[in-house]
Amino acid sequence: MIACSLAGGAISDHLSKTFGKRKGRCGIAVFALGLAAILLILGSRAESARLASVVLAGGAGALYLAQSSFWSVTADIAAGSSGSVSGFMNMGAQLGGALTASLTPAIAARYGWDTSFFVAAALAAAGAIAWLFVDPERTLAATQKFIGVTDNIER
C-alpha cells in the first residue's frame, strides 16, 4: 500500500505536468479504481487462498494508486475551502469504511462471498465511471457562478 500510494502520487504529478490535471489526476483514479474492480473479481474466483490473497492485495494496492488523486483534486476544486472539503471527503470515506465492515459479511452470509466481492467490484467500477466526470480545473467558485449562487467561497 505504501509503494502504491507513493507511486500513484508520482505518476499523477508526472501525468498532470505532461498532459494536464484532468488526465493526470482523474486518469489515474479511473485506471486504479477500474483495476481494483477487475482484481476483486479475479481474486474472488481464484482457486487457492494463497492466490486469492495476492490478487486481492493487488486490488487494495490499486486503490492506493488513486489516493493522491482524491486529495489533490479536493485541493484543486475547493480552492480557499480545501480544509472543509477535505474534511467532508474524509468523513464520507470513513462512513463508507464503517458501512463496509458490517455490510460485507452480511452480504456474504446471505448471498455468499463471491457476491460480496462482486458488490465491491461494482462500487469500484462505479467510482471509476464517476471520475470520468470530475474536472479538477473547475473550482467550487466557478460552479457557484455557473448555477447562480452569489456567495463566493474563495474569499
The pLDDT assigned to 1 comes to 84
Cβ atoms of residues 63 and 36 within 8 Å: yes
State whether the Cα torsion 52-120-38-9 is positive or negative.
Answer: negative
Least trusted range by pLDDT, from 43-57, 112-126, 128-142 = 128-142
Question: Residue 14: inside a domain, yes or no?
Answer: yes
The C-alpha atoms of residue 72 and residue 75 are separated, in whole angstroms, by 5
Extended beta strands in the chain, E state: none
Question: Residue 113: inside a domain, yes or no?
Answer: yes
Question: Residue 143: inside a domain, yes or no?
Answer: no
Report pLDDT digits (tens) over 26-46: 999 999 999 999 999 999 999
The C-alpha atoms of residue 58 and residue 78 are separated, in whole angstroms, by 31
* Domains: count for the chain: 1
Question: Residue 116: inside a domain, yes or no?
Answer: yes
The residue range of the domain holding 72 is 2-138
- Helix (H) and strand (E) counts in the chain: 8, 0
pTM, 2 dp = 0.84
Question: Residue 70: inside a domain, yes or no?
Answer: yes
Report pLDDT digits (tens) over 48-78: 999 999 999 999 999 999 999 999 998 888 8
Cβ atoms of residues 53 and 34 within 8 Å: no
Question: Residue 64: inside a domain, yes or no?
Answer: yes
Over range 73-89, report the average pLDDT: 86
Question: Residue 133: inside a domain, yes or no?
Answer: yes
Question: Residue 146: inside a domain, yes or no?
Answer: no
